[in-house]
Amino acid sequence: MIRSRMMKIVSGLLVLYALAGMHVTFAEPRSGIEFITDETRAMQEDEFANPGYFTVDRGLELFKQKHLKSTKSCADCHGEDGENFDTSSIARYPLVEAKSSKIVTLQKRIQNCRASISDKPLATDHPELVALETFVRHLARDELVNVQVDGAAAALLKKGEALYETRYGLIDMSCYHCHTLYPGQMIRGQKISEGQANGFPAYRLDTGEIANLHQRIQQCMSLLRADPFATDSEEIKLMGLYIMSRSNGLAIETPAVRY
Amino acid sequence: MFKLYVPDLRLCVKGRGIYNRRMKLNIFAKVCITMLAVLTVHVPVTLSAAEQSALPPPETYCEWQVENFAIDTPLCGYSGDVARGRAIVSDAARGNCLACHQLPIEGIEAYGTIGPPLAGVGLRLPVGHLRLRVVDTRHISPMSIMPGYYRKPGLINRPGKAYLGRTFLTAQQIEDVVAYLVTLK
What pLDDT is attached to residue B47?
55
- Indicate the DSSP class of residue B37: H
Q: What is the mean pLDDT of residues B125-141?
A: 96
**Are B157 and A168 within 8 A, CB to CB?**
yes
Q: Region of B140 please: left (phi>0), alpha (psi -120 to 50) or beta.
A: alpha
pLDDT tens string for chain A (259 positions)? 566 777 777 776 666 566 555 444 457 999 999 999 999 999 999 999 999 999 999 999 999 999 988 899 999 999 999 999 999 999 999 999 999 999 999 999 999 999 999 989 999 999 999 999 999 999 999 999 999 999 999 999 999 999 999 999 999 999 999 999 999 999 988 999 999 999 999 999 999 999 999 999 999 999 999 999 999 999 999 999 999 999 999 999 999 999 9
| Nearest-angstrom CA–CA distance, A52 and A194 | 21
| Nearest-angstrom CA–CA distance, A63 and A113 | 12
Shortest CA distance to A255 belongs to which of A180, A203, A179?
A203
Which of A108-122, B8-22, B68-82 shows the lowest mean pLDDT across its residues?
Answer: B8-22
Where exactly are the structural domains of chain A?
A: 32-48+144-258, 52-139
Class of domain A52-139: mainly alpha
A-chain residues within 8 Å CB-CB of B145?
Answer: 173, 177-178, 181-182
pLDDT by residue (tens digit) across A209-247?
999 999 999 999 999 999 999 999 999 999 999 999 999
B-chain residues within 8 Å CB-CB of A218?
Answer: none
| Nearest-angstrom CA–CA distance, B151 and B163 | 13
What pLDDT is attached to residue B53?
60
pLDDT by residue (tens digit) across A193-219?
999 999 999 999 999 999 999 999 999
Using CB atoms, pick whichever of B43, B113, B166 lies closest to residue A185: B113
Domains A32-48+144-258 and A52-139 share a fold: yes
Q: Which residues contact residue A77 at a Cβ distance below 8 angstroms, ignoring those fewer than 6 apart?
A: A84
Q: Which residues contact residue A58 at a Cβ distance below 8 angstroms, ignoring those fewer than 6 apart?
A: A128, A131, A135, B7, B8
Using CB atoms, pick whichever of A48, A205, A223 lies closest to residue B26: A48
Confidence of residue B109 (pLDDT cuts 50, 70, 90): confident
Class of domain A32-48+144-258: mainly alpha
**B 39-68: CB under 8 A from A:** 41-43, 45-46
Q: Could you tell me the pTM of the whole model?
A: 0.82
| Nearest-angstrom CA–CA distance, A129 and A59 | 8
Distance to chain A for B6, nearest Cα, Å: 12
| Nearest-angstrom CA–CA distance, A146 and A93 | 8
The answer to whether residue A220 is catalytic is: yes
**Are A208 and B37 within 8 A, CB to CB?**
yes
